Chain A
Amino acid sequence: MTQASAKTRVVILGGGTAGWMTAAALVNQLSSSCTVQLIESEEIGIVGVGEATLPHLRAFIAMLGLDEAEFMKATHATFKLGIEFRDFGSIGSRYLHPFGSFGTELGGVHFHHYWRRLGAPPESLFDCSIANVMADRSRFARPSADSNSALSTYNYAYQFDATRFAPYMRDWTLAHGAERIEARVTSVERDGEGGDITALLLDSGARVEGDLFIDCSGFRSMLLGQTMGAEWEDWSHWLPCDRAVAAPCASPAGGIEPYTTASAMTAGWRWRIPLRHRVGNGYVYSSAHLSDEAATDALVASLESEPLADPRLLRFRAGRRKQSWVGNVVGIGLASGFLEPLESTSIYLAQGAIAQLIDLFPIGRVTDADRAEFNHVVDLEYDRIRDFLILHYHATTRDDSPFWDHVRTMRVPDSLAEKIELWREAGRVSKYSHGLFFEPSWIAVYVGQGLIPRHWDARADQFDAAQLVAAMDRLRGQISNTVDAMPDHADYLGQVA
């Protein structure tokens, strides 16, 4: 055995966001254990709708040792403090799901119990989230690491041009030791006994052998789904949107919002993502409730300025593979599952799977235990995000279209029904600490979409109501002053990138 072949030979199929992020992380973390080859074809486009991200991406950027300013410049990125939801709970309603918490704990009791006890309106809760107020006023400053500071109660992510992010990752990765192969896969060679993939045959005539194959081929799921036959678990009865039509338009004059907007539409919702050089737009809809033409017309009609490109149609289905790691094939990104970008989770899901792959990287042969552990953790992530997304559709009074009638009245997963009832009854958020979307996120969507709990923590009764009102007013005033002292988001961007 030669020195080189002692390393695990990793072959990644597909050079989109998931593929290049996987390659980058492996080269960065496991260069002494593996070699990385990535096969992609310029003939196959990348989906690239993942323009809005979650704060976790910062850790990935930091892990690779990338310069944030340079990264933001290359991807035309803006800062993101949360997601604004319009018309979800009811037509005319709006709220922002901030990347940050609400108010401060008092006597071990979370802030929203005091807010509820006072019977105050939703705005007075949201005004106690610094990230929400920053977003409202288009301000930006970096959070503080000092846990005593109010500036430590929020986080930020990026809004960027996904078609630039993958190439940016690619350039970095190629400079750090991965090999890129420009080709299409024509057939897959498998081991007769175990069924593991042994090699990929390319249209160039080449044959690429590997020990571990990472399927980042997108919706096609060429290795995990088509070759290994990983079964699909369909969630479209809960998340019926299965199409999107996307079109960028020119940035309006003036500021740049540090947040993404999701506006509910008659058969789905529309995104608006402000980047440095343009605004990304798209209508995510259910083809059972709306034709492609009608969706395109509705999107174009909603644009604030001239479209910069022809509308592009995407097809998908909500769900995931029952197993994301089968044999020696690991699916990452869309090859493993898909959840609509309502909460910007696509890149996070890929990143989470990459982190698990690194932690469970095969030592010698792949074992059943590796696969079981990986699939367990990935499933948990998907299931929790699924419930959170369904909540956005189900917690509504909208009855203006068959689409909203369906999602409003559908039977949701038991795991979600129980969470909702616990909130409605007691104002408590079912506790978990692994995965995505913790208490403040659930509170934002519950309250933002009109689910006000019947009761609150009994300890909140012990304080004098007038004193609580005064304390909340003071907090709001402090947050307001702090935010007013922050620079404008667009100005801040101009300085950093």
Chain B
Amino acid sequence: MSDRAIRSIMVAGDGLVGLSAALAFSRAFPRIKVTILAVPPDPAALTDRLPWTLPAVGRFHAAIGFDELDLVRRGLACHHLGTRFEQGATSWMHSFGEVGRPEGAIPFHQLWLRAFREGRARPFEAYSAASVIGAAGKFVHPSTDPASPLSTYLYGLRLNPDRYRAALVEACAPLARIAGEIMAIEQNADGALAAVLLDDERRVEADLFVDCTGPSARLLSVLDPSFVSWSDWIPSSHVELSWGAASLPTPVDLVRREGEQWHLSANVPGATLNATVLLGERSAIHPGRRPAPFTKNVLAIGDSSVIPGPLLGLGLSLAHSAILRAIDLFPGRDTNPLELAEYNRLTAQEQDRARDLLALFHIGETTRELPASLARTLTQWSARGRLSFFEEESVTADSWAQTLLGCNILPDAVTPLAQVVDSNAAATAMNELADGLTSLAAQLPDYADYLARMGAPA
């Protein structure tokens, strides 16, 4: 080990985010002493309480040695193909994986748009395997054969937060664990964190402090209290979570908007989550991000870095991504500002695109000027259905297209490139694709049966 290496990490916070970070760092760097400081949970730390992960969860689980089959059999996780959004008479799906098939350089949504203008397109979701299979209440693992339509989708996992947390605690057992309340923070002359002083007068030192304390960012905010609010575009909210008895599992969640309320319902193993999101001023959840989540020797992850709000359940996936990025860009003990700047640059790019996607759900409700990146996306989408490229784009093109169309934002014109493909031939191929997906879904097992076959608890 070089003499510049970080020797000790203290992770403050033992919710899903803190435990995930502690476990991932200890796996990546076995020689580093990782200590978990179990500070009392912050009720506003929504990311520690919501069950959702995006398909990228597979990569994170591989990094911490979690096996999906094991998680399913132990009743910790079940699969997630997408979410149905309903508002008034409109209904649309946000699902994982591809929608339709592109023709060379022409994205499918362009062909769909042309067919739609010609009055011969089915709803966009009819061309997505995840949507069709999910809507039918079916599930199988995607195929690895690229020729199969079953290879075109992905899935996330929905977690039972209590059980999943218990599994993380178990996996973190070899790590040092200190329970206590943070009373004071000691800084070095250069501003870096020297130690955390606890209520029992203990003093905990570390080379690197990972702040997973929730929105208040109790460590990071000492070094840098600044916060970039997104409330101009994503309203603040009050979130009530209610956990009920398990119901028949489906791979799709339902989100319904009624006036100033969102109602979310989702299956997790052993329970059903019903959440009510009240939009408005007297709120606990204020979306936004910290401009420099990695400052000196403090790295904020989870709600202490970014608060995306409850919709689409992006919090835990953004935390996973941040943890893996921190491991990839792990600095030395000197925490060279250039290395941290690279981390902060990439993290901000990723988080801002998540913000842009979430802002779509409230577009038209704000008179504020949109963020430049979202304005660019909307301008290019509206003009010709183009999805502009962004570095560290955290949202797939298919996600953008589903959400833009779902929010009823239609391009004014189809790209001239689409004319290369004959309109009748394209329409026929689209019909065949949608029919094929429907009949394929009919042959697949019900999700409950599939779970039982995997050995999930009843």
Contacts and interface: CB of A to CB of B under 8 A. Distances in A.
Interface of A: 29-30, 32-34, 108, 358-361, 363-364, 367, 369-370, 373, 377, 418, 421-422, 425-426, 428, 430-434, 455-459, 461-462
A287 B271 CA distance: 76
A481 B47 CA distance: 52
A32 B391 contact: no
Contacts of A425: 336, 338-339
B420 interface: yes
Contacts of B386: 359-360, 373
Given A432-B391, A457-B328, 17 more contacts: A29-B105, A30-B417, A30-B420, A32-B416, A32-B419, A363-B413, A367-B383, A369-B383, A373-B388, A422-B342, A426-B332, A428-B339, A433-B392, A434-B389, A458-B332, A459-B29, A459-B327
B391 A361 contact: no
A458 B5 contact: yes
Given A369-B383, A421-B338, A425-B336, A458 B417 contact: no
B336 A426 contact: yes
B417 A462 contact: no
Contacts of B105: 29
Contacts of A377: 389
A361 B417 contact: yes
B6 interface: yes
B26 to A, nearest CB: 12
Interface residues of B, number: 39
B184 interface: no
Contact of B339 (A361, A422, A432): A422
Interface string B324-350: 000111111000101101100010000
B380 A369 contact: yes
A39 B30 CA distance: 67
B31 A422 contact: no
B318 to A, nearest CB: 18
Interface in B218-273: none
Contact of A461 (B5, B336, B376, B417): B5
B216 interface: no
Contacts of B419: 30, 32-33
A29 B417 contact: yes
Nearest to A377: B389
B28 A459 contact: yes
Contact of A426 (B63, B339, B384, B391): B339
Q: Which of B2, B5, B338 has the most CB of A within 10 A?
A: B338
29 contacts: A30-B420, A32-B416, A32-B419, A32-B420, A34-B416, A359-B386, A360-B386, A361-B416, A363-B384, A363-B413, A367-B383, A369-B379, A369-B380, A373-B376, A373-B380, A377-B389, A421-B338, A425-B338, A428-B342, A431-B342, A433-B392, A434-B389, A457-B328, A458-B2, A458-B330, A459-B28, A461-B1, A461-B31, A462-B31
A249 B329 CA distance: 49
B391 A433 contact: yes
> Which 5 residue pairs spanning A and B have beta carbons closest together?
A33-B416, A32-B419, A363-B413, A369-B379, A422-B338
Contacts of B431: none
A41 B2 CA distance: 65
Contacts of A431: 342, 346, 391
A369 B331 CA distance: 40
B6 to A, nearest CB: 7
A373 to B, nearest CB: 6
A455 B417 contact: no
A328 to B, nearest CB: 16
Contacts of B416: 30, 32-34, 361, 363
A146 to B, nearest CB: 13
B415 interface: yes
Contacts of A459: 28-29, 327, 330
